[in-house]
């Protein structure tokens, strides 16, 4: 799947930048430093916007395009930030045959975003994930650390409302 | 050197150990199809077109990256199984390819199309989802149509080889695409517009912006006086577009064709090149004798200039302030020629024919042209000129030679070698040495700066001065010299940089030669030879001996480096920096 590029303005802090610089300094002499530095950058910022990737590119003296190529090849890297509430829908085999695809579509429709995107107000992000090992509860989704199982499409709106009003 | 006895298709051969199957077969007259392979810069074995069978190997192997390392290796290049695999491979490529060949700019010159013909493919064999991309028209020099892309990565390698790397492979699986970081358009990334990607693209995914209609329209407009001028290297390459051997000098036929196309005047950019030497030579002597910024670096190559502005903006003071020959020629056509001919420069359309597509960018730069007029109005590449000649039905190979029009018809040998790496330096040295010694020197061949080595250096004793020079082409090599200057360790006083590897003869606007020719022919050297031969054949071989150049200084420009010369022939640069996005 093509990576979604966030349009939400970047809001990095000087502390985050200092941490990233440390990570770059720690890896600068390693061959293939791009991947570990990107991993640490994602730990620091939660995602990898152009501003962060440019710092990585400059710091490691590799072209931005090369950094971006790595960040779009591996599914673990995100170009979009996570919302205050990250809704993760399991698309593992058991959940999928039990209709989690429809649940994902409903969430997408209600939130007005595609999977791997974040709502403009930063409240909700949507992720399609692989099996989370709760097949007995299929279909299942998580909102941050809360787990919701044996779902039907018409329960979805109520779950979102709970967090909207939280 | 260890030699191995091998068999190819049952026949005995001897090869050096670790020769690849592709190289060995080429040596013995067997052509193996390739789509991704580019010698030295893209040896990745990705396209799987070159699959061959090695007896005893578990599977078919990619000939381009398979080194022959044991005695008795038996290779098969043309079995029914191999033909079937290659054919299926092509059919799979076509399953996600925009197959509108008839309207493709690379129709009849497409490596994918040629292979499909050779292997007799069924283009409808695999039908399914196709990726759809918007064409990218955001630059002045090229158009990207990813619907034609086969992901061979040759362009990525060419861009990386230029130390630019603004394009690369992004996303994965079916969504893999060659694009810029963060989906930016080509106009919003620090591309230097060299066009090397267009020269290596096997299909129509990356092509020059086609400005031929603008030229045809100008010629057809009776109110316009359309003047064309052709760069030094066009005469050495245009013939290739008409099936002539690489390295044929077609100057006379080219002039004849331009006259048949209906241009009102046909001038030689070699005149502009000689003018460049007068100005640049003078600038160098001035910097050298008065403690100016050294090393001075040549400024003829707009891709190189843009590279410096983006990636080494701190070194801009090292750039010669001279406009390129194209721009000097245009400026002189719209001033000196306009005055002599009694034509309002506003009615003149200047068309340049260039080996380069960065020239399309250069004509629209700031601080070129004056009174709201560009020095050149349209710049077309060698390939576009060939297309115009074909459209007009001109039988190029049958033409009788003709001469350039007077006033800007004479180019010296010094000017003609501008098209090859080392040429600008040699031309400048011929003039600088005469000026500094006050003599008419007879020894004017500067062989040390010739040839296609990455970096060439030489030291010359001229009238009691020691001048250390370096010549390079290809931006990867240029970067090495620039890093030295940055570190304060550059031993040189004068450096020539040409953007494209080998210089303009291998420019981004030059005729496209397919992979198997590029990989196994020394294109740069063959084309350059035509220019060095031309140099030897000319009456005048030093820029300052050119009678038309003497005339323009006597009648119009006063002296090299004069106030008027500065106003018309010099320019300034912009610190662009590495900026992504609008």
pLDDT at residue number B335: 97
Average pLDDT over residues B372-389: 97
- Backbone CA torsion sign across B504, B508, B509, B513: positive
Predicted confidence (pLDDT) per residue in A10-40, tens digit: 989 999 999 999 999 999 999 999 999 999 9
CB contact under 8 A, B170 and A63: no
pLDDT at B547: 97
Among A2, A5, A65, the residue with its CB nearest the CB of B168 is: A65
Alpha carbon of B582: minimum distance to chain A alpha carbons (Å): 13
d(Cα B574, Cα B367) in Å, to the nearest integer?
10
Q: Is A1's pLDDT higher than 70?
A: no
- Cross-chain residue pair B165–A65, CB shorter than 8 Å: yes
Stretch among A92-106, A111-125, B320-334, B343-357 having the lowest mean pLDDT: A111-125
Residues in CB range of B378: below 8 A, 6 or more apart: B211, B214, B215, B218, B349, B350, B351, B352, B363
* B225-230 sheet: strands from edge to edge: B265-268, B225-230, B348-354, B378-381
Choose, out of A58, A61, A69, A70, the residue to mutate when testing the contact with B (most B CBs < 10 Å).
Answer: A69
- Higher-pLDDT residue of A76 and B145 is B145
pLDDT value at position B1? 83
The ipTM is 0.92
> Residue A76 — pLDDT band, cuts 50, 70, 90?
confident
What is the predicted pLDDT for the residue at B539?
95
Work out the percent of chain A whose per-residue pLDDT is above 90.
84
Give the pLDDT confidence of B218-235 residue by residue, as tens digits.
Answer: 999 999 999 999 999 999
Higher pLDDT, B150 or A1: B150
| Mean pLDDT over each residue of chain B, to the nearest integer | 97
The mean pLDDT of A139-152, rounded to a whole number, is 95
Q: State yes or no: pLDDT of B582 exceeds 80.
A: no
Per-residue model confidence as pLDDT tens digits over B490-545: 999 999 999 999 999 999 999 999 999 999 999 999 999 999 999 999 999 999 99
Q: Does domain B101-208 have CATH number 3.30.70.20?
A: yes
Q: What is chain B's length?
A: 582
Fold annotation for A85-164: Glutaredoxin (3.40.30)
Q: Helix (H, G, I), strand (E, B), or coil: what is residue A129?
A: strand
Please, where in chain B does CATH 3.10.20.740 lie? Answer: 3-78
Check residue A6 and give its pLDDT.
83
- For B70-96, write each residue's pLDDT tens digit: 999 999 999 999 999 999 999 999 999
Residues of chain A with a CB closer than 8 angstroms to some CB in chain B: 1-3, 5, 50, 53-54, 63-69, 72-73, 79
Token pair 């005339």: residue: B551
The pLDDT assigned to A67 comes to: 97
B580 touches chain A (CB under 8 A): yes
Instruction: Give CA separation, B271 vs B343, B413, B570, in Å.
Output: 20, 11, 16
In Å, how far are A56, B138, B261, B365 from B212, measured between CA atoms? 43, 18, 12, 20
* B21 to A30, B30, B265, B521: CA distances (angstroms): 34, 10, 52, 17
Domain with CATH 3.30.70.20 in chain B: 101-208
Using CB atoms, pick whichever of B164, B169, B182 lies closest to residue A5. Answer: B182
Angle at B99 between CA B95 and CA B105, to 5 degrees: 140
Residues 165 to 224 of B: which have CB under 8 A from any A CB?
165-172, 175, 180-183, 189
In this predicted structure, what is the pLDDT of residue A116? 87
Task: Using DSSP bridges, classify how beta strands B494-498 and B465-473 pair: parallel, antiparallel or unpaired.
Answer: parallel
Rounded to a whole number, what is the distance in Å from the CA of A2 to chain B's nearest CA? 6
Identify which of A3, A53, A64 has the shortest CB distance to residue B171: A3
How many CB atoms neighbour CB B248 within 10 A?
18
B171 to chain A: which residues are within 8 Å by CB? 2-3, 72-73
In angstroms, what separates the C-alpha of B177 from chain A's closest C-alpha? 10
Query: Which overall architecture, per CATH, does domain B213-569 show?
Result: 3-Layer(aba) Sandwich (3.40)
CB contact under 8 A, A64 and B181: yes
For B166, the closest of A5, A65, A73 (CB atoms) is A65
Residue B244 is given by DSSP the state: P
pLDDT band for A77, please (50, 70, 90 cuts).
Answer: very high
Which residue intervals of chain B bear CATH 3.40.50.1780? 213-569
Distances (CA, A) of B218 to A76, A133, B224, B296, B430: 55, 70, 6, 39, 39
Structural domain boundaries in chain A: 14-73, 85-164
Query: What percentage of chain A reaches a pLDDT higher than 70?
Result: 99
pLDDT in tens, B336-373: 999 999 999 999 999 999 999 999 999 999 999 888 99
Q: What is the CATH number of domain B3-78?
A: 3.10.20.740
Cβ contact (<8 Å) for B581 and A50?
Answer: yes
Alpha carbon distance B197, B191 (integer Å): 11
B416: Cβ–Cβ under 8 A, 6 or more apart, which residues? B232, B235, B270, B273, B423, B531, B534, B535, B538
pLDDT confidence bin for B243, thresholds 50/70/90: very high
Segment B309-322 shows an average pLDDT of 98
Q: Given this model, what pLDDT does residue B552 score?
A: 97
* Averaged pLDDT, B413-442: 96
Q: Give the minimum alpha-carbon distance from B479 to chain A in angstroms, rounded to a whole number.
A: 14
Work out the pLDDT band at A142, boundaries 50, 70, 90: very high
Per-residue model confidence as pLDDT tens digits over B100-139: 999 999 999 999 999 999 999 999 999 999 999 999 999 9
For range B545-555, the mean pLDDT: 97
- Higher per-residue confidence, B460 vs A165: B460
pLDDT number for residue B507: 98
Close Cβ partners of B403 (under 8 Å, ≥ 6 residues apart): B252, B255, B409
**Rounded distance, CA B465 to CA B454, Å?**
26
Query: Which of B193, B190, B195, B188 lies closest to B575 in space, CA to CA?
Result: B190
Q: For an interface test with A, which of B182, B476, B577 has the most A Cβ atoms less than 10 Å from its Cβ?
A: B182
């Amino acid at each position: 799947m093509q990576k979604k590029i966030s349009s939400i303005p970047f809001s990095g802090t000087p502390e985050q930048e200092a941490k990233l610089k440390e990570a770059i300094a720690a890896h600068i002499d390693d061959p293939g430093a791009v991947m570990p530095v990107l991993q640490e950058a994602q730990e620091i910022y939660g995602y990898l916007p152009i501003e962060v990737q440019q710092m990585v590119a400059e710091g490691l003296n590799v072209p931005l395009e090369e950094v971006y190529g790595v960040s779009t090849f591996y599914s673990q890297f995100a170009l979009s930030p996570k919302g205050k509430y990250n809704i993760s829908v399991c698309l593992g085999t058991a959940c999928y045959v039990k209709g989690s695809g429809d649940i994902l579509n409903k969430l997408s429709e209600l939130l007005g975003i595609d999977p791997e995107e974040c709502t403009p107000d930063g409240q909700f992000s949507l992720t399609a994930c692989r099996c989370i090992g709760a097949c007995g509860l299929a279909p299942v989704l998580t909102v941050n650390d809360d787990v919701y199982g044996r779902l039907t499409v018409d329960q979805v709106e109520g779950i979102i409302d709970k967090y909207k009003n939280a | 050197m260890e030699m191995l006895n091998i068999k190819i298709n049952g026949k005995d051969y001897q090869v050096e150990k670790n020769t690849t199957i592709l190289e060995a077969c080429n040596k013995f007259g067997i052509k193996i199809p390739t789509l991704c392979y580019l010698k030295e810069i893209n040896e990745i074995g990705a396209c799987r077109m070159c699959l061959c069978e090695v007896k005893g190997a578990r599977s078919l192997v990619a000939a381009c990256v398979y080194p022959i390392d044991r005695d008795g290796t038996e290779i098969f290049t043309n079995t029914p199984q191999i033909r079937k695999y290659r054919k299926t491979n092509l059919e799979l490529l076509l399953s996600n390819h925009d197959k509108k060949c008839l309207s493709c700019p690379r129709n009849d010159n497409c490596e994918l199309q040629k292979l499909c013909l050779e292997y007799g493919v069924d283009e409808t064999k695999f039908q399914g989802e196709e990726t759809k991309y918007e064409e990218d028209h955001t630059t002045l020099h090229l158009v990207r149509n990813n619907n034609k892309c086969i992901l061979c990565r040759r362009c990525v390698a060419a861009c990386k080889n230029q130390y630019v790397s603004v394009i690369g492979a992004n996303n994965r699986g079916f969504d893999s695409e060659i694009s810029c970081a963060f989906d930016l358009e080509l106009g919003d990334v620090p591309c230097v517009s060299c066009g090397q990607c267009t020269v290596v693209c096997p299909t129509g995914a990356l092509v020059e912006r086609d400005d031929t209609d603008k030229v045809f329209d100008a010629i057809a407009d009776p109110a316009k006086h359309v003047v064309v001028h052709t760069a030094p290297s066009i005469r050495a390459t245009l013939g290739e577009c008409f099936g002539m051997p690489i390295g044929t000098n077609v100057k006379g036929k080219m002039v004849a064709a331009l006259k048949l196309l209906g241009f009102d005047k046909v001038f030689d950019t070699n005149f502009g090149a000689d003018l460049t030497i007068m100005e640049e030579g003078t600038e160098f002597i001035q910097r050298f004798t008065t403690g100016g910024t050294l090393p001075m670096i040549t400024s003829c190559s707009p891709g190189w200039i843009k590279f410096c502005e983006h990636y080494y903006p701190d070194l801009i003071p090292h750039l010669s302030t001279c406009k390129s020959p194209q721009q000097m020629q245009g400026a002189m056509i719209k001033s000196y020629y306009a005055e002599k001919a009694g034509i309002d420069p506003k009615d003149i359309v200047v068309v340049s024919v260039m080996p380069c597509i960065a020239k399309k960018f250069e004509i629209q730069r700031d601080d070129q042209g004056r009174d709201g007029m560009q020095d050149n109005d349209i710049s077309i590449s060698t390939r576009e000129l060939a297309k115009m000649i074909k459209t007009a039905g001109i039988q190029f190979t049958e033409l009788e030679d003709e001469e350039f029009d007077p006033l800007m018809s004479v180019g010296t040998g010094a000017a003609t070698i501008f098209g090859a790496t080392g040429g600008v330096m040699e031309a400048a040295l011929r003039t600088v040495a005469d000026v500094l010694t006050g003599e008419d020197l007879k020894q004017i061949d500067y062989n040390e700066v010739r040839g296609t080595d990455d970096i060439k250096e030489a030291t010359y004793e001229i009238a009691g001065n020691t001048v250390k020079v370096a010549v390079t082409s290809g931006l990867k090599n240029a970067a090495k010299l620039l890093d030295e200057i940055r570190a304060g360790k550059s031993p040189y006083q004068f450096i020539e940089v040409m953007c494209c590897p080998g210089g303009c003869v291998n420019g981004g606007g030059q005729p496209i030669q397919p992979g198997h020719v590029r990989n196994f022919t020394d294109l740069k050297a063959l084309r350059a030879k035509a220019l060095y031969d031309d140099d030897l054949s000319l009456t005048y071989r030093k820029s300052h001996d050119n009678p038309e150049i003497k005339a323009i200084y006597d009648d119009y420009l006063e002296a090299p480096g004069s106030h008027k010369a500065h106003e018309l022939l010099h320019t300034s640069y912009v610190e662009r920096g590495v900026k992504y996005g609008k």
